[in-house]
Amino acid sequence: MKLNDKLAIVTGGASGIGLATANTFAEAGAHVVLTDINSETGEAAVAEIRKRGQNADFVHLDVTDASSIDACKKKVLAMRPQVDIIAHVAGWGKIQPFVENTEDFWHDVVSLNLMGVIAVTRAFLDGMIEQKSGKIIVVSSDAGRVGSLGETVYSAAKGGALAFTKGLAREMARFNINVNAVCPGPTDTPLLAKVPDKFKEAFIRATPMRRLGKPQEIADAVLFFASDRSNFITGQVLSVNGGLAITG
């Protein structure tokens, strides 16, 4: 699956699934714009990609901040007027009973996991409509499909991202813009590393394949939706979860 000469934006690209996605896109021949709120790790990730002779640039981006999104848009479009792929990977949550959540926590979770996807998409969508092509991939979560204990608001935000994916896919199909989602199950990322061991062990026991996912396994699914192999697929949700949440 090749992405030769495609310009691909990856949000949350400095670590975990985002970093795996950025590396995978670069290996497939794309010019990757790796964005993240953490400039230091983002710049380091881009330096490693360039060492391999692949194309990448770093642009600072806070997907919850309108001015940051606007600044990112200007920098990206100055590099090249055509954005071909957007992979929404930036996300955050923590396991905590709903009754212990604060309103600020609700706001942070929804702003990052749902509103960030909506706002970044809108920033670059006009160009895709004008060129009548594009691939948008939302990395959501199986929490958004079936719910997750201790992640109620996170589940709601990720479920909203899935509904956004499907609605946008219907609107954008006439412009030859594909919009799909990948739903990871529990994956071995820096975010999951902060979860107590008892929860990670429970995830593994509940997964038929009896292990956590690997960031590369999620990135491979994102690559499929970004490539020409998925040209007649839109509005779909692909779970990559080792069988944890088998749904109809």
Dump pLDDT digits (tens) for 156-172.
Answer: 999 999 999 999 999 99
With respect to CATH, is domain 7-238 assigned 1.10.580.10?
no
97-128 tens-digit pLDDT: 999 999 999 999 999 999 999 999 999 999 99
Per-domain boundaries in the chain = 7-238
Q: Could you give the CA distance from residue 183 to residue 140 in angstroms, rounded to a whole number?
A: 5
The residues carrying an active-site annotation are: 154
Side-chain half-sphere exposure of 85, counting CA atoms within 13 A: 32
Q: How high is the pLDDT of residue 163?
A: 98
Distance CA(229)–CA(198), nearest Å, equals 39
Q: Got the DSSP string for 86-129?
A: EEE---------GGG--HHHHHHHHIIIIIHHHHHHHHHHHHHH
pLDDT at 146: 86
- Residue 185 — pLDDT band, cuts 50, 70, 90? confident
- Report pTM: 0.92
